[in-house]
Structure 1
């Protein structure tokens, strides 16, 4: 019986690019999908599901992200300290006022694989609420979203 051999990433080091995405006036879900696919490296010919073949992503203007419908007032984010009675619930609007970058981070993290691979991919995501970022030295390539 012949087995099908799928292309896999080589053992040689994979060259990761730095990509810059401006989240201003972008839909949260569509943006998170693009970010997650680039973090996993799905558009690359060497994509392997169990290997880290993706790029580093820098997201700026995360505080200017848009959502449809009544999500600002109805969507809830839950956080538990692990102690009895330690559940904290806040709406998207409250979280956007307090930590605007957390909304993009949580949306992308939910789209990444669970386990050690997903955690290592998530570390390659850098989200900033303003238009300035400290990664100028990496000379990131700008991704234009239409």
Structure 2
């Protein structure tokens, strides 16, 4: 009796790295970060597997001009801790956006990815820049529109 009938065949393909570019100036923080996490996890591909990562890099430009709705710019706080007693630091969205605008998007996207080694590998595929200058023009990135 052959017990190997019900095996799933996974097609192995050699694919090149695709580069995409997104301008964050025209998007809201939550909408943009959830769509990027969706693309990074490969859920928009017909050959989706939860444990497979896709060969792509996403460049996000103009992170300094990301928008939030309502009063979040004055109320949303970001916390970090040095690990020492009394080392908790909190910062409001407005101040962090002026100081380190990339950290806002990194924090939002990282929170939407799996909390394991795959999520850490996927975070390495994102390049975030505060203005529209980036060193990846020789890769010829494709402009990605998020609807």
Do the structures match in fold with TM over 0.5? yes
Q: Is the alpha carbon distance of 1:18 and 1:3 closer, same or farther for their aligned partners in structure 2, counting shifts above 3 Å?
A: same
The structure number with the bigger radius of gyration is 2
Q: How does 1:99-138 map to 2 (within 5 A)?
A: 99-138=100-139
Unaligned runs of 5+ in 2: none
Asked if structure 2 preserves the Cα contact closer than 8 Å seen for 1:46 and 1:53, the reply is: no
Preserved contact between residue 35 and residue 146 of structure 2 (Cα < 8 Å)? no
Partner SS state of residue 44, structure 2 = coil
Q: Equivalent residue for 2:61?
A: 60
Cα drift, residue 46 of structure 1: 2.0
1:63-102 Cα shifts (integer Å, max 9, x gaps): 1111001101111101011111111100111110110111
Long gaps (5+) in structure 1: none
Q: Aligned to 1:114, what secondary structure does the other structure show?
A: coil
What is the number of equivalent residue pairs in this alignment?
Answer: 145
Question: CA offset at residue 14 of structure 1?
Answer: 4.0
> What is the alpha-carbon distance in structure 1 between the residues aligned to residue 8 and residue 45 of structure 2?
14
What RMSD, in angstroms, separates the aligned Cα atoms of the two structures?
2.0
The 3 A distance-change label for structure 1 pair 121 and 27 is same
